Structure 1
């Protein structure tokens, strides 16, 4: 699909705002990476921890509607 040449470099106002904000405050991206790492980049659980987590899991009832 061919795009018109003037739309190839289009950036929304919000995109421009974010780029300007990142240029003024370059530490923002580092803080984002740190926050992401806190939530998602966790070391794998060892077998004992996995077994304990599985054993302590609360099983949902088969029929949840009353």
Structure 2
């Protein structure tokens, strides 16, 4: 992943595991729910969790970060 990427959206713990096989956890992890966030907190310094566990809420969470 290029260094210019500031955040990654994760929808399951397994996607975090796959991401980390070839990438460093230098970005913000935007997570769909608490189970995914629990795994992300093991690796990422900054983890944000959507209020409602659906894709639209994760996108809203990202948008809030850039207002």
How does the TM-score come out when normalised to structure 1?
0.20
Greater RCO between the two (CA within 8 Å, min separation 6)?
2
Larger radius of gyration: 1
Q: Which has the higher strand share?
A: 2
